[in-house]
Amino acid sequence: MGRQPCCDKLKVKKGPWTAEEDKKLVAFILSNGHCCWRAVPKLAGLLRCGKSCRLRWTNYLRPDLKRGLLTDAEEKLVIDLHASLGNRWSKIASRLPGRTDNEIKNHWNTHIKKKLLKMGIDPVTHKLLHDQTSSTAAASPNSTVTDDDKFSKKHESFDPKDGINQVSQEENANPQQSFLNTMNRDEQVIGCLWDDDMPFIEKLWSSPMSIEEWLLDYQDFGIGDLELERVERGGLADEQIKLN
DNA sequence: AAGATTTGCAACCGCATGAAA
DNA sequence: GTTTCATGCGGTTGCAAATCT
């Protein structure tokens, strides 16, 4: 009847991964692949469940992952895709090479959502909050203060130059509309990404560099080294330019 | 300086779907 | 056809670091 359980849940380890575990998982996947996640932890000598291994690989260890904050262009793309796709993070992530759904979801919840609220844009509907709430706000002027309201007050000195885009003085007169305008301006760039037939990962696989070489060059297994990371990012950027 | 609070991210949880037995 | 599990996905939590009081 049915299949065997993927793991004995009583014996699996939980919590943060160690560098040693990362190395074991990477070494195993690079030499054997991951045709069946259920078998990976046992064969790799890890006391983790397959699900945990899969998440660790896809969200952190995969060699094609970018590190660091999303760029302005990536943020704009996420916002645009979110407007049309909603919280379908995996679909959104598939349009951002080197980014994971988890990373995008986290970035949305911690950065983008707040920026949009600060600019008076509803992060759910992507419409101006003023347009949506003017009637209800007038009806209930003493409505309770939300966390988002608190954020807006706390960040009243927010400088658009640090955020989504730089805007002209004229546009500053109406920051909400200005933001929507910049979104339109980016449509061409976004369109290019939408039309990209060959996903980034396929370009990576087809590059002359082997995956082992790539990993050895770019993976630090979680051991922080900012300078190395900076150089690595430069290397990745160069590689992407070559591939393009 | 120290405790409290907030922030950001990695990892886990639980559900839906499809496939294997 | 039914049961059981693998996988993928989105939501949520836990915790270390940063910031505030």
Residue A217 has pLDDT above 50, yes or no: no
**Using the CB atom, is residue A226 less than 7 Å from strand C?**
no
**Using the CB atom, is residue A88 less than 7 Å from strand C?**
yes
Q: At what angle do helices A211-218 and A19-32 cross, to 10 degrees?
A: 160
Residue A89 has pLDDT above 80, yes or no: yes
**Using the CB atom, is residue A240 less than 7 Å from strand B?**
no
Question: Model confidence over A105-139: pLDDT tens digits?
Answer: 888 888 888 888 878 888 888 877 766 555 444 33
Say whether A16 sits in a helix, a strand or coil. Answer: coil
Question: Model confidence over A64-74: pLDDT tens digits?
Answer: 888 777 888 88
The one-character DSSP state at A122 is -
**A107-CA/C11-C1' distance, Å:** 14
**A177-CA/C11-C1' distance, Å:** 31
Question: Looking at residue A103, what is its pLDDT?
Answer: 87
**A65-CA/C21-C1' distance, Å:** 39
Residue A60 has pLDDT above 50, yes or no: yes
Tell me which residue has tokens 């200005």.
Answer: A178
**Using the CB atom, is residue A237 less than 7 Å from strand C?**
no
Least confidently predicted of A57-61, A65-69, A205-209:
A205-209
**A90-CA/C8-C1' distance, Å:** 9
For residue A174, the tally of other CB atoms under 10 A from its CB is 12
Question: Looking at residue A128, what is its pLDDT?
Answer: 79
| Residue A120 exposed, middle or buried by CB count within 10 Å (0-12, 13-18, 19+) | middle
* Partners of A128 in the β-ladder: A121
Q: Of how many residues is chain A composed? A: 244
**Would you state the structure tokens that stand for residue A217, as one six-digit string?**
């060059």
For residue A79, the tally of other CB atoms under 10 A from its CB is 22
Q: What nucleotides of chain C have any atom within 7 angstroms of a protein Cβ? A: 3-12
Question: Looking at residue A170, what is its pLDDT?
Answer: 43
**Using the CB atom, is residue A5 less than 7 Å from strand C?**
yes
Residue A242 has pLDDT above 70, yes or no: no
Kindly tell me the number of DSSP H helices and DSSP E strands found in chain A: 15, 0
C-alpha A90/C-alpha A79 separation (Å) is 14
Given a contact cutoff of 8 angstroms between Cβ atoms, the answer to whether A182 and A66 are in contact is: no
Which residue is the nearest neighbor of C4, CA to C1'? Answer: A2
